[in-house]
Structure 1
Amino acid sequence: MQTILRKVFIALLVMTASAVSAQRTVNGTVTDGRGTPLIGASVSLKHRPHTGTTTDTKGHYTLVIPAGEDPTLQVSYIGYIPRTGKPSIKTNRLDLALNEDETGLQTVVITGTRTPKLLKDAPIVTKVISADRIKKTDATHIGELLQAEIPGIEFSYAMDQQVTLNMQGFGGNSVLFLQDGERIAGETLDNIDYNRLNMDNVERIEIVKGAASSLYGSNAVGGVVNVITRDATEPWTANLNARIGAHNNQRYGGSFSFKSGKFNSLTNIQHTHADAIDLGRDGDYSTVFGSKTWNIKERLTFNATDRLNFTGRAGYYFRERDKSADTRNRYRSFSGGIKGRYSFAGGKDDIEVAYSFDQYDKSDLITSSRNDIRDYSNVQNSLRALYNHKTGRKNVLTVGGDYMRDYLMSYQFENNGSKRQYTCDAFAQADLHVTDKLSAIAGLRYDYYSEARANNLSSKLGMMYKVGNCSLRGSYSGGFRAPTLKEMYMSFDMASIFMIYGNENLKPERSHNFSLLAEYIKGRCSVTVTGYYNKVDNRITTAWNKALNGMQYVNMAPLKISGFDVNAQVKYPCGFGASASYAYTHEHIKAGEPLTSSTRPHTATARIEYDRQWKSYGFCITLSGRFLSGVTTDEYTSVSSYEETSRQRYPGYAMWKLSLAQRIAKGVNITLAADNLLNYRPSYYYNNSPSTTGTTLAAGISVDIDKIFK
């Protein structure tokens, strides 16, 4: 018996030794164009992106290659052009130097196609705001950032100082906001709570303008904004940051990440506080409510094997608004989810299954009694499956489907009642690399909404052709928005002035979007021109109903929105960079329809910066501005008739900001900013005028604790 056991043990040792000897260990360094080591650069197998590692403080990496592999390594780093290469067979070594991505076109994007694709190769027009740009803008939440970076976007106030969005004629219920590809629950006056989308630990933001319902379904009539969180790529990181500005505007944050073995984790906490602002002049409002927020997020990834990984996430959000001395509005969110991804042998197929949960509640705190009365709750449970099959070198076939259960309890329903519905969909998309110059994308999606009894087939077709330094893109996309539970069942007393009623017979909105883009790139300069046309049928809005003696949700005649964008940017090795963007929007509403337009026809943004970095000190000084033209619109003067209107002129304005970001020591960064340099103040505070009292100053500090000790 002992002889048999000895033979088995020896056989196991021989097999283990053979397996180990069959493995291959490669190493090397990753540097920039000047030979400086790049810390935390990602090094992975090209056909197995989840088999990889990151460079250490000296830019060095070591990677174990599975047996039988003839590896091609892919190296990437934020702000640099990715490179691939094969390690030497004799030395098992591969050293690579990465060049800066001055135009940003080497960024990998996913929103327009649901599959990773370099921005320069994406047939669907996608705007990307990078982590570096987010850091330099120093925005607290997504509204501040989008207004500073993209023309045609305006965040303003609706009634009761609730934030509302206008993106080139489309409101908040027509622009779909995603967090790492997942929908966000809750709305107020057709807009999500944008304060939930804070900018800490954001890798990038991808914006796809125009209908995207063939991939994302309802609400993606006017576009998609996807906020993508960064991954933990280094052994550990820790950051503490703070910012203080005018009106006791405070922001404190901290984040911690680690990567160890099969696990990596990213935790973020942020707290903000702002006092009430007395505007000191007449207007639709004279005081901006004070508020405070807490935002806590956790993301944990487990790489079970080189082919299978799981990502779990959880979040808590709290916001309190000081509406009056007697009442404080409270908003809470609890969110979570888990996603699993498996890559099949050969690297041509992968499957992703995800579950997500999001609950958004509203309540009113009565300060005298301390009673916290909840009167709104939106709960979404979603399940998604996605399958990708690669054919040839770059062709990808994507198929998938979603199921969502939507529950809504609201103070706007009769007797604070509740409603629920389920939605399901199936979609398919072909991403084709026809030639090195020509690529195309085509997709279909079918949606069904149970309570609205609405179904829709959305389609998309996009093509890109490259000629020398030019890229030409053209696309058609269909949009779809089902009536919401609120729009179907609302029964709300509007401050004892009139009632607002839902309509169970509403038809879904459907849109047709056409766009053309020409892009020219030479060296460090790029210019893009985009033209588009949107036609939206059965737009849902409210109109006066004489029989009900109140407002009711109805479908209106087709709405037509057209325009064009122009963008130009340049960046030189000396550190100088500049960009300018202009957007023209024309919104055509048929006379007599119960909708007026406050879309500003002309908007623009501009930025000039100078960036210099040395070994122990660096700075970046930036002058940025945004311009919004005036707009003349008709306002209804009576709720009993849509025949009585008066002309109203909303004035244009310009806002300029000067900021100085300094790296004063290893891991220590200080930002100083002066906003509204021209000291602009509205003579009358309309809901869509900026709530500024003049020039304001702010200062912030960010400390990367891990860099101090490395």
Structure 2
Amino acid sequence: MQKILVTVFLLTGCCFLINPVSAQSIDTRTYSDSAAYDTMLDEIVVTGTRSPKILKNSPVITKVFTENEIRKVDVTHIGELLQSELPGIEFTYSMNQQVSLNMQGFGGNSVLFLVDGERIAGETLENIDYSRLNLDNVQRIEIIKGAASSLYGSNAVGGVVNIISKIPVEPLHVNFNTRLATNNEQRHGGSISINTGRLSSATNVQYVSAGDLKMKNEGVYSKVYGNRTLNVKERLQYNLGDNFKLTGRGGYFFRERDSQVSSKDRYRSFNGGAKGEYAFHQKSNLELAYSFDQYDKSSFLVEDRLDVRNYSNVQHNLKGLYNYSFNSKNMLTVGGDYMRDYLMSYQFKDNASYLQHVADIFAQYDWTPTEKLNIISGLRYDYFSDADISHVSPKIGLMFKQGRFNFRSSYAGGFRAPTLKEMYMNFDMASVFMIYGNRDLKAESSHNFSLSGEYTSQYYNFSLTGYHNIVDNRITTIWNTELKGMQYMNIAKINITGIDANASVRLPSGIGARLSYAFTHEKIEKGQPLLSQTRPHAATARIEYGKTWRKYGFNIALNGRLLSKLTTYEYTSLTSYEEMEEVTYPGYTIWKLSLMQTFRQGINLIVGIDNLFNYVPDYYYSNSPYTTGTTFSAGVSIDISRF
């Protein structure tokens, strides 16, 4: 496979070098969209305010990945994109090779992932199934760091990631794409969309597979299990008039993992929803929506050909959102949500099931007293029936503009209510110890303070953000002597302080570069059962060169991620927080070189060399990159309807 991919890379590169293009056909545009930053800054974003807002005018710091940027990075899942582009984010393996997220001190249960603004059901070890979040047919991704509970409630303590699907604009668009990589990795997909003016439809299918990957050195795992994933999505929209729009969607997800010879782990999701949007006039609009998501786990017994379901999380959501503009400078947003949350799990006694009702109301006021000053404030009230917990989450943010400088400051409250699993768990952990839930858990809460400055010119962008988080009552497992097992408990305050710095340049010549750095410091009280797992220093870098002519374009890019070593402690005893040893997880850097070529007929060819300098860990820790060396990939995307 490697020889085949190297040959494809060389041949594709030769196509780029010998492609006959006359000097007279050169266009002033470049493939890397490097003409100016103003285009990006005029992007409409919705996640930070739950109402459309131009990026450069948003008082909430928002990172946006466009469709073109996603395509150039050439990744399959959301984790690969976030790690390659944002410092301070690390996806690692936890027990049984389940994927866990650490985003500058916050775990997967503190970062809310949305698809078109809707929550995702199901979790494993406090993380959602990130395999569900494929990047085919995605228009953009919006990322908010810091507490966003005033708009999104529980789980939005550390941030929000919102994946927004493409809306058809062409009368007919048909795409087929495929990608092959080392280790028998395959990705095949396609989409078809139509737009008749009143009616639009978008259907997307993607299949991903990978074989077992045997590690080169000793470590926590000797191999990474092979798996197969299927994603099917449909989105239908009908405009009843200039003021009324109906949207329906549905999806199916299936993943199978080769964890054992006698059985395979299976994961499924069925989801759907409907949304109606009505504009009363230019000043106000109303949105009503219903969504449904069912996420199941099962064990497929190979010899008996029997599929045994042992987990099911079913969520029904209703929401309403109303926006009213008093004038072009002031907007009031009010809304409410209701969720019916059902969970049946093998981790409950006798595979029991539990039900919880969640309701909230919220309001936000966006005020622009002068052209230079924008103030946004919000308040949200949430109630969780089974936990009998209510919580109020405030926020206030200010943005001041002076020439090409933007200054932002904010305070936001965050919280996370205990889940049904954390309240009712009764699970035998491989006959080693029991894990018990706790009905008396308090909600996690946080106070997030941030201050940032940004400078933007036609070709340059520089920003610096400092933040401080005070997290109280974080939920984790602690040894309970009386129960002789682990139990979910609240622990004392944790302070998380950090700095984000970014510098970018895009020149008309086609050259682009970006350097991003993140510093994170976790202060955890001595004797607490939680230990730091966050690398203090992380950086990502990118340098690229691209051009577009009338019939041909190319972009060549070098991406790198650099992570510092982490010296921390590991407990050597379950029953004592005094018995521990110092351990150092080594730092590392991984670089990827990719070349993408675009032909006018709608053909995109992309080849890549990942882990360019052949990094292989001496020992595979859980938070080490599970790489066995340099890998190669080659893919093609064809817009058939453009021929």
Instruction: Give TM-score scaled by structure 2 length.
Output: 0.95
Q: Establish whether residue 158 from structure 1 lines up as the match of residue 89 from structure 2.
A: no
1 or 2 for the larger relative contact order (CA 8 Å, sep ≥6)?
Answer: 2
Q: Out of 258, 272, 275, which is 2:194 matched to? A: 258
Cα distance, 1:102 vs structure 2: 5.5
Q: Which residue of 2 aligns with 1:146?
A: 82
For residues 48-68 of structure 1, give each alpha carbon's deviation from its aligned partner in whole angstroms, at most 9, with x where no partner exists.
xxxxxxxxxxxxxxxxxxxxx
Question: What's the % identity of the aligned pairs?
Answer: 58
Q: Out of 287, 291, 308, which is 1:356 matched to? A: 291
SS at match of 2:241: coil
- 2:122 & 2:131 partners in 1: Cα distance? 12
- 1:394 & 1:111 partners in 2: Cα distance? 19
The question of whether the paired residues in 1 share the 8 Å contact of 2:297 and 2:309 is answered with: yes
Q: Establish whether residue 685 from structure 1 lines up as the match of residue 593 from structure 2.
A: no
- 1:640 & 1:218 partners in 2: Cα distance? 31
Quick one: which amino acid aligns to residue 297 of structure 1?
K
Q: Establish whether residue 135 from structure 1 lines up as the match of residue 75 from structure 2.
A: no
Q: Which residue of 1 aligns with 2:123?
A: 187
Q: Which residue of 1 aligns with 2:158?
A: 222
Quick one: which amino acid aligns to residue 482 of structure 2?
A
For residues 601-645 of structure 1, give each alpha carbon's deviation from its aligned partner in whole angstroms, at most 9, with x where no partner exists.
000000000011112221100001000101011101111222210
Cα distance, 1:394 vs structure 2: 2.5
Cα distance, 1:36 vs structure 2: 8.4
For residues 158-188 of structure 1, give each alpha carbon's deviation from its aligned partner in whole angstroms, at most 9, with x where no partner exists.
0100000000000000000000000000000
Q: Establish whether residue 301 from structure 1 lines up as the match of residue 237 from structure 2.
A: yes
SS at match of 1:148: helix
Q: Out of 279, 292, 302, which is 1:343 matched to? A: 279
How large is the RMSD of aligned CA atoms in angstroms? 1.6
The question of whether the paired residues in 2 share the 8 Å contact of 1:103 and 1:526 is answered with: no
The question of whether the paired residues in 1 share the 8 Å contact of 2:336 and 2:362 is answered with: yes
Quick one: which amino acid aligns to residue 629 of structure 2?
G
Unaligned runs of 5+ in 1: 1-33, 39-77, 82-98
Q: Which residue of 2 aligns with 1:120?
A: 56
Q: Establish whether residue 322 from structure 1 lines up as the match of residue 264 from structure 2.
A: no
Cα distance, 1:468 vs structure 2: 1.4
Q: Which residue of 2 aligns with 1:540?
A: 475
- 1:128 & 1:373 partners in 2: Cα distance? 41
SS at match of 2:151: helix
SS at match of 1:173: helix
Cα distance, 1:110 vs structure 2: 0.5
Q: Out of 198, 208, 217, which is 1:281 matched to? A: 217
Quick one: which amino acid aligns to residue 675 of structure 1?
D
The question of whether the paired residues in 1 share the 8 Å contact of 2:37 and 2:458 is answered with: no
Cα distance, 1:529 vs structure 2: 0.1
Q: Which residue of 2 aligns with 1:445?
A: 380
The question of whether the paired residues in 2 share the 8 Å contact of 1:299 and 1:311 is answered with: yes
Q: Which residue of 2 aligns with 1:624?
A: 559
- 1:79 & 1:100 partners in 2: Cα distance? 10
Instruction: Give TM-score scaled by structure 1 length.
Output: 0.86
SS at match of 1:247: coil
Q: Out of 606, 614, 620, which is 2:549 matched to? A: 614
For residues 423-471 of structure 1, give each alpha carbon's deviation from its aligned partner in whole angstroms, at most 9, with x where no partner exists.
0000000011111100010000000000011000100000000111110
Q: Establish whether residue 488 from structure 1 lines up as the match of residue 404 from structure 2.
A: no
Q: Which residue of 2 aligns with 1:175?
A: 111
1:58-137 matches, cutoff 5 A: 101=37, 104-137=40-73
- 1:325 & 1:575 partners in 2: Cα distance? 51
* 1:283–1:103 Cα change, 3 Å: farther
The question of whether the paired residues in 1 share the 8 Å contact of 2:283 and 2:327 is answered with: no
Q: Which residue of 1 aligns with 2:532?
A: 597
The question of whether the paired residues in 2 share the 8 Å contact of 1:422 and 1:450 is answered with: yes
Quick one: which amino acid aligns to residue 517 of structure 1?
S
Cα distance, 1:664 vs structure 2: 4.0
Q: Out of 455, 466, 469, which is 1:520 matched to? A: 455
For residues 535-559 of structure 1, give each alpha carbon's deviation from its aligned partner in whole angstroms, at most 9, with x where no partner exists.
0110000100000000000000001
The question of whether the paired residues in 2 share the 8 Å contact of 1:545 and 1:551 is answered with: yes
SS at match of 2:83: helix
Cα distance, 1:105 vs structure 2: 1.2
Mark the structure with the bigger radius of gyration.
1
SS at match of 2:591: strand
Q: Establish whether residue 646 from structure 1 lines up as the match of residue 572 from structure 2.
A: no
- 1:373 & 1:288 partners in 2: Cα distance? 24
SS at match of 2:200: strand
Q: Which residue of 1 aligns with 2:495?
A: 560
Q: Which residue of 1 aligns with 2:247?
A: 311
- 1:638 & 1:326 partners in 2: Cα distance? 33
Quick one: which amino acid aligns to residue 668 of structure 1?
I
For residues 177-212 of structure 1, give each alpha carbon's deviation from its aligned partner in whole angstroms, at most 9, with x where no partner exists.
000000000000000000101000111111100000
Quick one: which amino acid aligns to residue 324 of structure 1?
Q
Q: Establish whether residue 213 from structure 1 lines up as the match of residue 149 from structure 2.
A: yes
The question of whether the paired residues in 2 share the 8 Å contact of 1:79 and 1:101 is answered with: no
The question of whether the paired residues in 2 share the 8 Å contact of 1:102 and 1:571 is answered with: no
For residues 630-685 of structure 1, give each alpha carbon's deviation from its aligned partner in whole angstroms, at most 9, with x where no partner exists.
10111011112222101111000000000000124511111010000110000001
* 1:235–1:103 Cα change, 3 Å: closer
Quick one: which amino acid aligns to residue 402 of structure 1?
D
Quick one: which amino acid aligns to residue 124 of structure 1?
V
Q: Establish whether residue 409 from structure 1 lines up as the match of residue 335 from structure 2.
A: no
The question of whether the paired residues in 1 share the 8 Å contact of 2:329 and 2:369 is answered with: no
Cα distance, 1:395 vs structure 2: 1.2
Unaligned runs of 5+ in 2: 1-24
SS at match of 2:71: helix
Cα distance, 1:37 vs structure 2: 13
- 2:496 & 2:338 partners in 1: Cα distance? 32
SS at match of 2:157: coil
Quick one: which amino acid aligns to residue 270 of structure 1?
Q
Quick one: which amino acid aligns to residue 342 of structure 1?
Y
The question of whether the paired residues in 1 share the 8 Å contact of 2:27 and 2:550 is answered with: no
- 2:133 & 2:536 partners in 1: Cα distance? 27
Structure 1 residues 124-133 or 661-670, which shifts more? 661-670
How many residues are aligned here? 618
- 2:588 & 2:491 partners in 1: Cα distance? 32
Q: Establish whether residue 577 from structure 1 lines up as the match of residue 503 from structure 2.
A: no
